[in-house]
Every structure is written in C-alpha cells, then in structure tokens.
C-alpha cells in the first residue's frame, strides 16, 4: 500500500513540476504595435521575446491566430530555465484599412491559465488622396483617379456604405465616360457629369448595399468604367471587405429559437507524413437548436485541404459525419492550414477548423 501511495505522490509531483506559472514566463512586451502604415504595405513580422524564469522547461504546444491574415510561428523545442525564446506573427495587411486589433493565443504547459493572449495592433491609412497633385499615377491614361481601391474593412450584411472617387481630365481635349464594363449588383453610383473638360474633375460617389452581397468572409470585387481615353479606356475601382452576418437585431425569442451548431472538434493533427501522402479525419456536426441550421459557406485556404460537406442544411436534432481531407502534395515542413465554416448560428457564425501536419520532403 505504501508503494502505491509513493507512486501516486511521485506522479502528482511530476505533473506539478511539469507546469509553469504565467508570471514566470516574462515577455518583453505582450503587445506589438506596428504604428501607422500606408495601405498596401508589405507584410509585417511581429516578434514577441520572452524569458523562461521558471525552474523547469517551458513547452509551447500550439499558437493560434485570431484571423487568417496572421500566421504565427514558435519554437518547437522546450525553452530551458533562464533561456530566451521568440514567437513571431506574420501579418498580411492586404486589403485592410483602419484600426487593426489582432491576437495570437499561446497554449503551453501553464499551471493555472489555459492559454495566454498576445496582441498586435496599429493603423493602416485609408487609400484616399483627394489632392489632384497626388492622383494615382498607377492608373494609366489621361483620366486619372484619386484611388484605385476602396477598403471597407470588416462590415455586416445589413449595412450600407459610401465612398467617393475623384476623376480628373489631364488631357487638352474633353474626355467622356461612356458606360460600364462590369459592376456587381450590390453597387450603385452617382456621376454628376460624364464629360470632363481639360483640367476638370468629377467626384463619383459609390454606394454599396451589403444586404445584396451573396457571400461571406473576404470579398474582392470591382466596378469598371468605360471611357474614350484612347491611352487607357477602362478605369477600375476595386473594393475589398470582410463581410459577416448581422445578428445584432435578433430578439431574445429569436435567439432562443435559433439553430445551434455542435461540432466534434476543431483541431486536427495529421501527425508526421511523407510528402504526397493523404489523410482524412471524421468530423461530426449536429444541430442542437430549434430551427434549421444552414452552412452558408465553406472556405478552404489552400487546395491541400478539403471538406466533404455537400448538404448545406441540418434540421433540429439532425447530425451528420463529414470527412476532412489533407493532401500533402507540394507541402513540406510544419503545415498549418484552416477551413472556415460560415453558419446562421448567431453564436457560431464563423467556425475555424485547424489542420496541422509535419510533412517530410521526398
């Protein structure tokens, strides 16, 4: 009996020793502020340097980012007592504008907390230049424009949004807008005049009705005007935004009767595999709510990850098992991939499935 108690005590002690207190892992800064950058700048590499002030090894098991625009990396080996370690987060600001507030979540051998949050913030300048001397030179031809891209950031599908693009005629003869090449249905515009005299400008107001956008997540589109500018007839204004469903106006009764997504897991480790090998994992999804659950969109971030989700609706109490597949062809090293589900569950509108694997090159 004594030996059993000794074994149990030793085991408990080992588990206790194997964990560190949060304050024993000292970060030089838990927030990376990249300041103010221009729209369209290159990727930003945020670094978080820490010191292990505990008497045991610090082992990071996983790091997850709050959005697909941020990709973290971390030391796979344990950080010894007294040693320093670095966690990096590569942030891609493409198509984003305004205030940025992102985060990464660290899962490690902490004793009290489950995980630790580090933040990344800053401001991306709106791509607006109304000064005629700064009209975008990247738009060729004699009708120049004040911006090529309207970046709306994160929006909801119940809102309306408006922006203005200034066009100016830098030619010595009148030039004219002659129509549209293409325009999404959710956009309308106001053009006070179609003909511009030399040196004359026109402010074109572009309106977006987000309720007519039949998509979720990151959307890139454009409105293209036709002109008689022989040097460059087409004048395109690109739009970029991340759109979510708006649940803010739901009543308590509507929320009570809403669909409710249940999923068997969100983390899928395919382990170590040879390049070119494939694997699959079963995922069970169910509707524990009181109305029809709709899978509005399935988004994979690369062709290497697919999900067998052909039916887009689940009735209350209905469940089904789907197949998540990973193909390691053209992938090498430590792979971190995501699959995103968009649903009509107000509490689980955006659900991310994380896929990881260590792929050995042939």
Please name each of the domains of the chain with its CATH number. Answer: 2-124 (2.60.40.10), 132-244 (2.60.40.10), 252-360 (2.60.40.10)
What's the distance, Cα to Cα, between the start and end of the chain in Å? 53
Mean pLDDT (the chain) is 86
Residues 6+ apart with CB under 8 A from 244: 154, 155, 156, 157, 216, 349, 350
Tell me the pLDDT band of 311, cut-offs 50, 70 and 90. Answer: low
What confidence score (pLDDT) does residue 301 get?
75
| pLDDT at site 10 | 41
In the chain, % of residues over pLDDT 70? 90
Do 209 and 186 form a contact (C-beta atoms < 8 A)?
Answer: yes
Please answer whether residues 89 and 72 qualify as being in contact, where contact means their C-beta atoms are separated by less than 8 angstroms.
yes
**pLDDT given at position 335:** 85
**Whole-number pLDDT of residue 13:** 40
pTM score: 0.65
* 82/55 Cα distance (integer angstroms): 8
Residue 17, pLDDT > 60, answer no
Using DSSP, state whether 41 is helix, strand or coil: coil
Q: Does residue 132 contact residue 168 with C-beta atoms inside 8 Å? A: yes
Q: What single DSSP character describes residue 253? A: H
Nearest to 211 by CA among 246, 241, 163: 246
Across the range 86-102, mean pLDDT stands at 82
pLDDT, tens digit (0-9, with 9 covering 90-100), for 95-144: 677 788 889 999 999 988 888 999 999 888 765 544 445 555 444 688 98
In 10 A of CB 72, how many CB atoms?
A: 22
H helix runs in the chain, sequence order: 2-17, 252-256
Task: Characterize 283-299 residue by residue with b for buried, 16 or more Cβ atoms within 10 angstroms of its Cβ, and e for exposed.
Answer: bebbbebeeebebbebb
Please say if the pLDDT value at position 19 is more than 90: no
Confidence of residue 361 (pLDDT cuts 50, 70, 90): confident
Centroid of chain to Cα 27 = 26
On the CB side of 275, how many CA atoms lie within 13 Å of its CA? 9
**Residue with more model confidence, 8 or 260:** 260
């Amino acid at each position: 009996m004594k030996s059993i108690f000794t074994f149990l005590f030793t085991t408990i002690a080992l588990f206790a020793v194997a964990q560190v207190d949060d304050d024993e892992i000292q970060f030089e800064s838990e927030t990376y502020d990249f300041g103010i950058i221009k729209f369209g700048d290159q990727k930003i590499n945020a670094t978080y340097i820490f010191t292990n002030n505990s008497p045991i090894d610090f082992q990071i098991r996983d790091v997850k980012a709050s959005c697909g625009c941020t990709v973290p990396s971390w030391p796979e080996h344990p950080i010894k007592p007294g040693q320093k370690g670095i966690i990096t987060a590569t942030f891609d600001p493409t198509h984003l504008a305004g205030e940025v507030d992102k985060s990464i979540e660290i899962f490690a051998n902490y004793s009290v907390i489950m995980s630790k949050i580090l933040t990344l913030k800053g401001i991306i300048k709106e791509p607006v230049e109304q000064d005629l001397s700064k009209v975008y030179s990247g738009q060729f031809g004699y009708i120049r424009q004040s911006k090529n891209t309207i970046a709306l950031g994160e929006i909801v599908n119940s809102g309306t949004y408006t922006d203005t693009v200034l066009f100016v005629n830098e030619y010595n003869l009148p030039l004219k807008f002659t129509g549209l090449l293409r325009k999404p249905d959710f956009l309308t515009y106001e053009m006070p005049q179609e003909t511009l005299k030399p040196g004359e400008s026109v402010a074109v107001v572009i309106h977006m009705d987000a309720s007519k956008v039949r998509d979720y997540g990151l959307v890139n589109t454009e409105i293209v005007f036709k002109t008689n500018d022989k040097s460059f007839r087409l004048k395109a204004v690109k739009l970029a935004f991340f759109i979510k469903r708006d649940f803010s106006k739901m009543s308590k009764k509507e929320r009570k009767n809403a669909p409710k997504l249940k999923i068997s897991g969100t983390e899928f480790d395919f382990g170590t595999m040879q390049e070119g090998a494939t694997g699959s994992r079963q995922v069970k999804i169910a509707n524990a709510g009181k109305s029809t659950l709709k899978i509005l969109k399935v988004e994979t971030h690369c062709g290497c990850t697919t999900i067998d989700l052909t039916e887009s609706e689940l009735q209350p109490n209905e469940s089904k098992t789907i197949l998540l597949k990973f193909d390691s062809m053209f992938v090498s090293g430590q792979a971190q991939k995501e699959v995103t589900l968009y649903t009509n569950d107000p509490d689980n509108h955006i659900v991310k499935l994380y896929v990881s694997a260590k792929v050995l090159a042939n």
